[in-house]
Amino acid sequence: MRVFCASVATETNTFSPLRSDFSDFAESFYAPPGEHPETPTLCSAVFPALRRRARANPDITLIEGTATWAEPGGLVSAATWARLRDEVLDQLRAALPVDAVVLGLHGAMIAEGCVDCEGELIAAARRLAGPAAKIGVSFDPHSHLSAQRVENADIITVFKEFPHTDFVETGEACVDLTLRAVRGEIAPQISVFDVRMMDVLPTSIQPMRGFVDKIMGLEARGEILSGSVIHGFMAGDSPDLGAKIIVVTDGDAPRGQALARDLGMELFSFRGRTKPDFLPPAEALRRADTSQKTPVVVADVWDNPGGGAAGDSTILLREVLAQQLSGVAFGTIWDPMAVRLCFAAGEGATLDLRFGGKTSAHAGAPLDARVTVQRLQRQAVQSFGASVVPLGDCAVIRIGDLDIVLNTNRSQTFSPDLFTNLGIDIRQKRILVVKSTNHFHGAFAPVAGEILYASVDGPYPNDPTRTPYTRLTRALWPRVESPHAEEPA
């Protein structure tokens, strides 16, 4: 059995002032064939999963292609997309004939001239591999599920959890089902239901917690091979925007379609009541300051580099300073130039520093302050489950007893070790401010006394009723109150 695998992934915020090119992939993660590390990345967990299968089964010949990931950002340049697409397709062409193609993708990449990058890649892989080969794909739920993807894949698995704590399990499931399909043990049929909804759907709280548990129960009992929820990515101008249900059955498409519809309408019934309380910034910080359950984690949910925002907004930080809060650690502000100045000054130096607020008119003005350089770290990292996430060169600066992490590689906050790896003792802090919508939750919940979500309007298009989509032609809640009663435009 000859199996080819590759991974090309990023999440494109088409409304972001940023632009993405090959340097963003090289900076975040780029592994040529055979050089993928033993640890998985968010979208490349299929690599270590396939390696384990190949070591245990001499009948599997694994041919590895490129694996690469760019931190979510703005539109991908046409040249970068063509380079990465052709690189993987040339590798697949050289590997032919193959029995299976396994792709670790994100699902929300949009490039100049290509609104459905993943669909284009999967369709091209199908043409090369032929109709008999099995194609398995794993996606992030914050993606756009097109018909082109469904028509050309045999297996689709999606992270069930948000935060995405199950990305390794999702890669394992994709590999397992694809290999079983090659061996003829299963005859997978993919059924999809369009929920026609765009909402924030964290699985760390109800009702999504119970909904995901229900789907996992269907899998555990063998009623379906796989069930997934595409949440959609509201910052991507895609014709396939919005939530969809995927059900993979063993040769029973009618049952799969009926079940996908039932699950989809149940999900639709949750609309407007799935996300946690999003508080105005000043209120979130006042509540954190008076809380007796320390440390309080305050999430800046919209200036989230994981959603393609720059991560250099100063709005919440200015509120911390305005309220004169004590015992605060703030992570992070993306500012490569400020980091460079701190390295030039050296640890222990005190200097006047301008930082943050450089990329958007909606993210607050740069902040000018007298700071002390507490810590400098080359090539700092944080963890996200089994994955290691690069932060680039980092500087910890202090204003009073406020510690601020400045980084050179954009990244949302995933883990408390973002702070502890840089010498910040979170046990001595009353408030931890992080930039993340929900991925921080899994690692911070065990150490947090309380978690609050601050909604800073500006850096991210967070209201689908006001976002100027140009490609959306379907009725979608909340833009339309009853989208299932509406005819497509």
Whole-angstrom distance, CA of residue 341 vs CA of residue 205: 42
CB-facing half-sphere around the CA of 19: CA atoms within 13 A: 7
> Taking each helix axis from N to C terminus, what angle separates 117-129 and 78-95, rounded to the nearest 10 degrees?
20
Structure tokens at 193: 């239901």
At residue 278, what is the residue type?
F
pLDDT at 487 over 70: no
Compute CA 475 distance to the chain's CA centroid, rounded to the nearest angstrom: 25
Residues whose CB falls within 8 Å of the CB of residue 127, separated by 6 or more in sequence, listed in order: none
pTM: 0.94
pLDDT attached to residue 489? 42
Domain spans of the chain?
A: 2-268, 278-454
pLDDT attached to residue 50? 98
235-268 per-position pLDDT tens digit: 999 999 999 999 999 999 999 999 999 999 999 9
Mean pLDDT of the chain: 97
Share of the chain above pLDDT 90, in %: 97
Could you give the strand order of the β-sheet that contains 387-399, starting from the edge strand earlier in sequence? 278-279, 450-454, 296-300, 431-434, 328-334, 402-407, 387-399, 367-384, 350-355
Whole-angstrom distance, CA of residue 16 vs CA of residue 235: 8
404-448 per-position pLDDT tens digit: 999 999 999 999 999 999 999 999 999 999 999 999 999 999 999
The model's confidence at residue 486, banded by pLDDT at 50, 70 and 90, is low
Calculate the alpha carbon distances from 381 to 116, 224, 300, 336, 422 in Å: 31, 39, 20, 15, 9
Whole-angstrom distance, CA of residue 365 vs CA of residue 342: 20
Residues in the chain: 489
pLDDT attached to residue 362? 85
pLDDT at 178 over 90: yes
186-195 per-position pLDDT tens digit: 999 999 999 9
361-388 per-position pLDDT tens digit: 888 999 999 999 999 999 999 999 999 9
Whole-angstrom distance, CA of residue 107 vs CA of residue 182: 24
pLDDT attached to residue 436? 97
CB atoms within 10 A of CB 30: 17
pLDDT at 9 over 70: yes
> Taking each helix axis from N to C terminus, what angle separates 253-268 and 208-220, rounded to the nearest 10 degrees?
160
CB atoms within 10 A of CB 322: 11
H/E run at residue 41: none
At residue 153, what is the residue type?
A
The DSSP call for residue 384 is E
pLDDT at 457 over 90: no
**Cβ atoms of residues 235 and 252 within 8 Å:** no
Return the residue matching tokens 């789907």. 215
Calculate the alpha carbon distances from 46 to 36, 311, 457 in Å: 11, 29, 37
